[in-house]
Chains A and B, each alone.
Chain A
Amino acid sequence: MSFPWANQYQPENEFMKWMDSRLPLPRLIYNAIGAGYPVPRNLNYFWNFGVLAGVALVIQILTGVILAMHYAANVGVAFDSVEHIMRNVNSGWLLRYAHMNGASFFFIVVYIHIFRGLFYSSYKAPREMVWLLGLVIFLLMMATAFMGYVLPWGQMSFWGAKVITGLFSAIPLVGPALQEWLLGGFSPDNATLNRFFSLHFVLPFVIFGVIILHIWALHIPGSSNPTGIEIKGQQDTIPFHPYYTAKDGFGLGIFLIFFCILTFFMPNFLGHPDNYIPANELSTPAHIVPEWYFWPFYAILRAFTFDFLFIPAKLLGVIAMFGSILLLFFLPWLDKSPVRSGHYRPIFRKFFWFGLIPCILLLGYLGGAPAEEPYVMLSQLASAYYFAHFLIILPIISMTEKPKPLPNSITEAVTGKPLESAA
């Protein structure tokens, strides 16, 4: 929000003045991520992850565009072209490993970013639109990553493409025709690989566009903060630059250290060895699993092994899997508590730490496990809790719990001294 005390942009020299009256881009940046954007003074490190997600996207686009210069999207040569990148292209191995692990790190930071939103209820008014746009980005990311994983045309690529497009065949009446339309054939083939490459190339730029909307929507109310209370005066805020540029820079350093450890010392740790076997349409790998970041959703998909009423198991699994994400679009209206931060919501906090978080971690573990007992039964229990948490538990506790007293101001919460004047 443009608080009245926000620093005003002053063009420094004649050139900047000239520029400012023709294309005020420096002014836009100053007001968006510079000294002209007042931010709560008490943000903790969880508020780093939005910027880190942006950096991850930039890493993906840079490495991706370069990989695309050497990659060939044809089933006859795709696998070999990736090996060519690994063995022959100068620094090709680095770019590919950075892109592979970059995708994982993108999801790690986005998951932490979403976790922050869930705990501090950042999705509540007046930031619903920020949350909804974030979920759109998340869906686009999942589509992009899925199609990227198909490109090397290994065993997991091929069977992943088959199983995921198979999800659409569960839709009554139009399903099988829809799957053929998506694949451009009866089974994943050249047509599939080519269209996935085209879409995998363009979607990250669509994501970039939605991120701009996400930040635009954020800047209308401004960032929330760990206490969840409103900004009451100038003392509650500090300018984004230099304070948070410095804090984000520090966080970025830590992020890059972990990113380099994985990329340089254990580049295949998060991958699946079967994807180094060229695609074979006559042999399914014994355990087909998606990339780790899809595991919780995959566990929900596989939990439905029984028909319910007249809905077949296959369709139920697909509805539940998509439903587990679509549900989050309704979260701003399911959580009715007037208080945002989990710190001041004693019962919410217990269900969050001892219910939701273990449930999601367990689903993640189960999604990577084989489709056998006891994993199937545990997936059923965990899926049931997941839905119950958002649809039953959260609405009820948000209406019944008595929140703890909130501090009078951010400044008081941080310094113990009251905000001097309500400036």
Chain B
Amino acid sequence: MAEPEMTETNEGGEVRRRDFINIAAVSFAGVGAGVVALPLVSQMSPSADVLALASVEVDVSSIEVGQAIKTTWRKQPIFIRNLTSEEIAESKAVNASDLRDPATFEERTLPGKENWLVMLGVCTHLGCIPLGAAQGEIKGEYDGYFCPCHGSHYDAAGRIRKGPAPTNLEVPEFSFISDTVVKIG
């Protein structure tokens, strides 16, 4: 008494109404499961309080020429260095296009404040803190920074010169909100 397209054995192989219902039901359940998975995945991303610590202000008036301080931003170390004129000249003399991660000295500093180098003290290889910011630390073969974890050498402008790190030390977004106060982030 059942109509042919409603039986289990449909020899013609054409699409039955039941196939359509099955596929529609399973797809709907699939979409539902996908939507449920979203919060399960997104809960892992940085939470609101972590994102809220997004900017810091630092007074740099006490940093002498040739010295640097370490501070933190978003729980990551920041190097702020008052470059010497030799370091500036040396960094400008480098031909940027020969570098692994080409960047000129001007691109890494602010115009008119080019003695201030502000960088994340996080090796772009796997995240160790490079040496070279504090006095007496090894500065590596290019007279800048050296990461002891896997041997990356950075120059005085924080550009990668040798070793496994792929990119230059990151320069965060920063600006001078007064002559002596830097705002990072």
- Name A residues whose Cβ lies closer than 8 Å to a Cβ of B: 159, 162-167, 169-170, 180-187, 189, 191, 195, 281-284, 286-288, 302, 304-305, 307, 312-315, 317, 370-372, 376
Contact = CB atoms under 8 A, between A and B. Distances in A.
A182 to B, nearest CB: 7
A302 B77 contact: no
A281 B78 CA distance: 11
B102 interface: no
Given A186-B76, A187-B74, A314 B165 contact: yes
Contacts of B22: none
Given A283-B129, A288-B149, A307-B100, 14 more contacts: A166-B125, A180-B46, A185-B50, A191-B50, A281-B76, A281-B77, A282-B70, A282-B72, A288-B128, A305-B164, A314-B125, A315-B166, A317-B164, A371-B149
B50 A313 contact: no
Contact of B166 (A159, A164, A302, A313): A313
B128 A159 contact: yes
B72 to A, nearest CB: 7
Interface of B: 44-47, 50, 70, 72, 74-77, 100, 124-129, 148-151, 163-166
A390 to B, nearest CB: 24
A386 B93 CA distance: 43
A281 B128 contact: no
B151 A371 contact: yes
Contacts of A312: 166
Contacts of B76: 186-187, 281
Nearest to B130: A284
Q: Which 9 residue pairs of A and B lie closest in terms of their CB atoms, listed nearest first?
A: A166-B126, A166-B127, A312-B166, A371-B151, A163-B126, A284-B128, A284-B129, A162-B127, A313-B164
A304 B164 contact: yes
B151 A372 contact: yes
Given A162-B126, A181-B45, A191-B46, A286 B164 contact: no
B138 to A, nearest CB: 10
A282 B72 CA distance: 8
Contacts of A165: 127
B14 to A, nearest CB: 39
B127 to A, nearest CB: 4
Contacts of B149: 163, 284, 288, 371
A159 B165 CA distance: 17
In this complex, the member of A162, A307, A372 whose beta carbon has the largest number of chain B beta carbons within 10 angstroms is: A162
Contacts of A186: 46, 50, 74-76
Given A302-B150, A372-B151, A314 B164 contact: yes
29 contacts: A159-B128, A163-B127, A163-B149, A164-B126, A165-B127, A166-B125, A166-B127, A167-B126, A169-B126, A182-B44, A184-B46, A185-B75, A186-B75, A186-B76, A187-B127, A191-B46, A281-B75, A281-B76, A281-B77, A282-B70, A282-B129, A284-B149, A302-B164, A314-B124, A314-B125, A314-B164, A370-B148, A371-B149, A372-B151
Contact of A189 (B75, B124, B125, B163): B75
B170 to A, nearest CB: 10
A68 B46 CA distance: 25
Given A185-B75, A281-B75, A282-B129, A180 B166 contact: no
A40 to B, nearest CB: 46
